[in-house]
Amino acid sequence: MTKKVRVRYAPSPTGNLHIGNARTALFNYLFAKHNGGDFIIRIEDTDQKRNIENGEKSQLENLKWLGMDWDESPDKPGKHGPYRQSERRSTYDPLVEQLLLSGRAYKCYCSEEELESERDAQRARGEMPHYGGKCANLSPKEQKAKGTEGIEPVIRFRVSPENTYSFEDMVKGTITFEASSVGGDFVIAKRDGMPTYNFAVAIDDHYMEISHVLRGDDHIANTPKQLMIYEAFGWKPPTFGHMTLIINSETGKKLSKRDESILQFIEQYRDLGYLPEAMFNFIALLGWSPVGEDEIFDQASFIKMFNPDRLSKSPAAFDPKKLDWINNQYMKQTDLETVTTLAMPHLVKAGYVEENLSDDKKEWVQKIIGLYHDQMSYGAEITTLASLFFTETPELDEAAKEILAGETVPEVLSAFEKVITDLENFDAASIKAGIKAIQKETGIKGKNLFMPIRVGVTGQVHGPELPETIELLGREKTKAHLKTAISHL
């Protein structure tokens, strides 16, 4: 590429970082870094009514948490700023005036009520709603009369319906639009003077020297309007690439913010104790595939091998089970202290432990977390996995009850109760030796020995290493669980 690659992620500060937006940012980041280019963050905040407090801060913090950095942004200004659209009026206003003077744009005084009435009539006739051009040819005298009535106009771009617009999409190939499909002359400046999305984004991309625009394919319909703006000023448009939708792997439907079966905001995964490196890895595979079968890569590897030619033309399936598997792979490689930091707040939130633990209690909790280290998919999962350590009596499911119904179970549990009562050192090594002694004494071995002990002590048919589990439960709690199990035989 002869021209330096410059790409942008341009969120609106109207909410927290969504998975779909995170993917857009991540693919732009990888594309820029792979090509030695620049990654720019631009805040599209012209819709002041929808902006939320700390919306921009949340976007930037969550991108940083995912491991991305950028070259220019509101918090890292460069020569192409400002980086908030609300601060760029001095750029937009003269260009709106230029279009008005050239006749490529005009003032429209139609009220919202008039426009809605027009759309209703068009629908009644079976037409697609569009602006009919009522104000397109007002004389200067008519415009002046409207102005004296105190009506604030919008500015509309004059569309030539006979034109055709075509562009080569990095993902989808050649895409062609008839100008007549955009719904008539569209608004480029609102009544308060703020630019609309399609006008501002084209202006900003030009002046910020954006070379490539990678975004979701829900933006395809916006592209012809932006191409019209480029054409009106005689500018060369960037190269566009529209990534496929993300769908729910269970339903096959587009991932919607109303779909409560899937957590959709990065902050939710942070709060649950997922690892940022794992989230980065998972998101990078949503609509892009590496060569080969491997799926676990660090950021440097993704940057090295990122090729937009491998962006998928099919929808990307968001599979929570795959996310948990990927996060588990990273958890296994993460040191216990970090895993403890991820898990501990959830034990506190569940009321299992206090926030300020003594050193001994903290060491005990860390050992419990260590039991489930390789099994955990995310931090919050510890409250389910390790609940037996923090609840009085384990509840038995049907599988556990079936184990306890075995013929030799009373003999095994009675023998084990005596063993743990008599143990001088209540540690994993001594407990393991005690179980072996029961095997030698009774001749009962294998699952007929270990399963009744596991169920009798933990209430579970599966779990981590049994001697270590029993040691951390402690002598008194182990005996209490055994007594409860024996009383139900």
Residue 7 contacts residue 28 (beta carbons within 8 Å): yes
Over pLDDT 70: what percentage of the chain? 100
pLDDT > 90: what percent of the chain?
84
- Which residue in 335, 317, 364, 358 sits closest to 471, CA to CA? 364
Distance CA 27, CA 22 (A): 9
Q: pLDDT for 27-78, tens place per residue? A: 999 999 999 999 999 999 987 778 788 889 999 999 999 999 999 999 999 9
Mean pLDDT of 334-347: 97
Tokens of 144: 């002046």
In the block, residue with structure tokens 């206090």:
354
Degrees, nearest 5: CA angle 199-200-204: 125
Task: Write down the pLDDT at residue 2.
Answer: 60
pLDDT per residue as tens digits for the range 104-161: 999 999 988 999 999 999 999 988 889 999 999 999 888 888 878 888 999 999 999 9
Alpha-carbon distances, residue 83 vs 8, 9, 76, 100 (angstroms) = 11, 11, 9, 26
Q: Indicate the pTM of the whole model.
A: 0.91
* C-alpha span between 85 and 21 (Å, rounded): 18
- Which residues are bridge partners to 175 per DSSP? 167
The pairing of strands 6-9 and 38-41 is: parallel
pLDDT in tens, 173-201: 999 999 999 989 999 999 999 999 999 99
Asked whether the bond before 410 is cis by omega within 30 degrees of 0, the reply is no
Tell me the C-alpha distance between 166 and 232, whole Å.
Answer: 15
Q: Cβ contacts of residue 385 below 8 Å, gap of 6+?
A: 372, 375, 376
Q: Rounded to whole angstroms, how far apart are CA atoms 80 and 120?
A: 43
